[in-house]
Amino acid sequence: MSSIELDTLGEVAKPVGVSEFLRGLAAAVPVQIGFVPFALVLGAQAAQKGLSPAEVPLMTGLNFGGGSEFAAIDLWTSPPHIALIVAITFLINSRHLLMGAALAPFLSAMPKRKVLPALFFMCDESWAMGLADARARSSFSMAYFLGAGIALWACWMVFTAVGAAIGPMIGDVEAYGFDMAFPAVFLVLLRGMWTGLRAARPWLVSLVTAALVYLFVPGAWYVAASALSGLVSSYLLAKQP
Amino acid sequence: MIDASTLLTILLMASVTYSTRALGYLALRGRTLGYRATAVMEAAPGCVLISVIAPDFASDKPASLIALAVTLVAATRLSLLPTVLIGIAAAGVLRHFLG
Q: Helices A201-216 and B35-57 meet at what angle, rounded to 10? A: 40
Q: Is A79 on the interface with B (CB under 8 A)?
A: yes
Task: Determine, for residues A214 and B35 on separate chains, whether the beta-carbon distance falls below 8 Å.
Answer: no
pLDDT in tens, A46-60: 999 999 999 999 999
Q: DSSP of chain A, one letter per residue?
A: --HHHHHH-GGGHHHHHHHHHHHHHHHTHHHHHHHHHHHHHHHHHHHHTT--TTHHHHHHHHH--HHHHHHHHHH--SS--HHHHHHHHHHHHTHHHHHHHHHGGGGTTS-HHHHHHHGGG--HHHHHHHHHHHHHHTS--HHHHHHHHHHHHHHHHHHHHHHHHHHHHH--TTTTTGGGHHHHHHHHHHHHH---TTTTHHHHHHHHHHHHHHHHS-SSHHHHHHHHHHHHHHHHHPPP-
Chain B residues close to A54, C-beta within 8 Å: 1-2
Tell me the per-residue pLDDT of B54-63, one tens digit each, with 9 for 90 and over.
Answer: 888 988 899 9
A15 pLDDT more than 70 = no
Cα(A75)–Cα(A46) distance, integer angstroms: 11
Cβ-based contacts under 8 A for chains A and B: 291
A191 touches chain B (CB under 8 A): yes
Q: Which of A31-35, A127-131, B67-71 has the lowest mean pLDDT?
A: A31-35
> Which tens digits make up the pLDDT trace of A54-80?
999 999 999 999 889 988 998 999 889
**Tens digits of per-residue pLDDT, A33-46?**
778 878 988 999 99
pLDDT for the residue A3: 42
pLDDT classification of B31: cutoffs 50, 70, 90:
low
Residue A219, pLDDT > 80, answer no
pTM of the entire predicted model? 0.70
Residue A174: per-residue pLDDT: 66
Average pLDDT over residues A173-186: 77
Over residues B8-21, the pLDDT tens digits come to: 999 999 999 999 99
Q: What is the pLDDT of residue A31?
A: 77
Q: Which of A73, A96, A100, A72 minimizes the C-alpha distance to A86? A: A72
At A14 the pLDDT is: 56
- Residues contacting residue A63 through CB under 8 Å, at least 6 positions apart: A69, A89, B10, B13, B14, B17
Q: What is the reported pLDDT for A84?
A: 92
Alpha carbon distance A72, A127 (integer Å):
23
Chain A contacts in chain B segment 2-61 (CB below 8 A): 2-3, 5-14, 16-30, 35-36, 38-58
Q: Does A172 or A184 have the greater pLDDT score? A: A184
